[in-house]
């Protein structure tokens, strides 16, 4: 019987662990390759558009007067701009409460061959002046009282 010396056993164990670690890292990278979304602003998208169908995020401001609701009641068309370029966007689904013209938005989706961004998800951004609807009609004293009750 030919047993390995303790020094060689540690070397074999270390080699097996290293191979397993590299294999796990490669497997994780392969599994996540399609999950990575790149972030674009309209001027980046105009200068270097992603491949049609590639999952990306588009961020910018919803232009005033661009929001149009289609007859089906779920689909909206709007334009996202950054002051340098504009990208038409179409989204079908429930729109976040904070989504309004003139506000910031991050749309997840992909660019169509015709240049329209097909959004699958919308994330509305609000500014520092945001006020929840529940507090909007209250006086300052009522707001302080409502906040104190939650603490």
Average pLDDT over the chain, rounded to an integer: 84
How many Å apart are CA 116 and CA 80, to the nearest integer?
11
Q: Is position 103 within any domain?
A: yes
pTM (two decimals): 0.62
Q: How many domains does the chain have?
A: 2
Question: Do residues 101 and 58 both lie within one domain?
Answer: yes
Residue 4: partners with Cβ closer than 8 Å, 6 or more residues away: 12
pLDDT at 138 over 80: no
Question: Do residues 46 and 60 both lie within one domain?
Answer: yes
Q: Is position 82 within any domain?
A: yes
Question: Do residues 86 and 113 both lie within one domain?
Answer: yes
pLDDT at 27 over 80: yes
pLDDT at 1 over 60: no
Q: Is position 151 within any domain?
A: no
What pLDDT does 4 receive? 76
Question: Do residues 5 and 57 both lie within one domain?
Answer: no
Question: Do residues 5 and 58 both lie within one domain?
Answer: no
Question: Do residues 2 and 65 both lie within one domain?
Answer: no
φ, ψ dihedrals at 119, nearest 5° = -85, 135
Query: Dihedral angle at the C-alpha atoms of 127, 128, 132, 138, nearest 10 degrees?
Result: -130
- Whichever domain contains 79, its CATH number is 2.40.50.140
Question: Do residues 69 and 30 both lie within one domain?
Answer: no
In percent, how much of the chain has pLDDT > 70? 79
Question: Do residues 20 and 57 both lie within one domain?
Answer: no
What pLDDT does 69 receive? 92
Q: What is the pLDDT of residues 60-86, one digit of tens each?
A: 999 999 999 999 989 999 999 988 999
Q: Is position 117 within any domain?
A: yes
Question: Do residues 5 and 67 both lie within one domain?
Answer: no
The confidence band for 3, taking pLDDT boundaries of 50, 70 and 90, is confident
Enter the tokens of residue 123: 């994330």
Q: What is the pLDDT of residues 94-121, one digit of tens each?
A: 888 888 888 889 999 999 999 999 999 9
pLDDT at 132 over 90: no
Mean pLDDT of 121-149: 66
Segments forming the whole domain that contains residue 23: 1-36
């Amino acid at each position: 019987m030919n047993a390995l010396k303790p020094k060689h056993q540690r070397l074999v164990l270390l080699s097996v662990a290293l191979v397993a670690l590299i294999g796990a890292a490669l497997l994780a990278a392969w599994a996540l390759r399609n999950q990575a979304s790149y972030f674009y602003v309209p001027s980046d998208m105009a200068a270097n558009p992603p491949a049609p169908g590639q999952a990306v995020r588009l961020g910018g401001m919803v232009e005033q007067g661009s929001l149009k609701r289609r007859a089906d009641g779920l689909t909206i068309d709007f334009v996202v701009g950054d002051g340098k370029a504009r990208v038409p966007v179409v989204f079908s689904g429930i729109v976040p409460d904070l989504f309004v013209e003139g506000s910031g938005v991050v749309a997840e989706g992909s660019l169509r061959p015709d240049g329209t961004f097909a959004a699958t998800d919308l994330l509305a951004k609000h500014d520092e002046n945001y006020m929840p609807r529940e507090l909007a009609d209250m006086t300052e004293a009522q707001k302080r009282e409502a906040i104190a009750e939650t603490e």
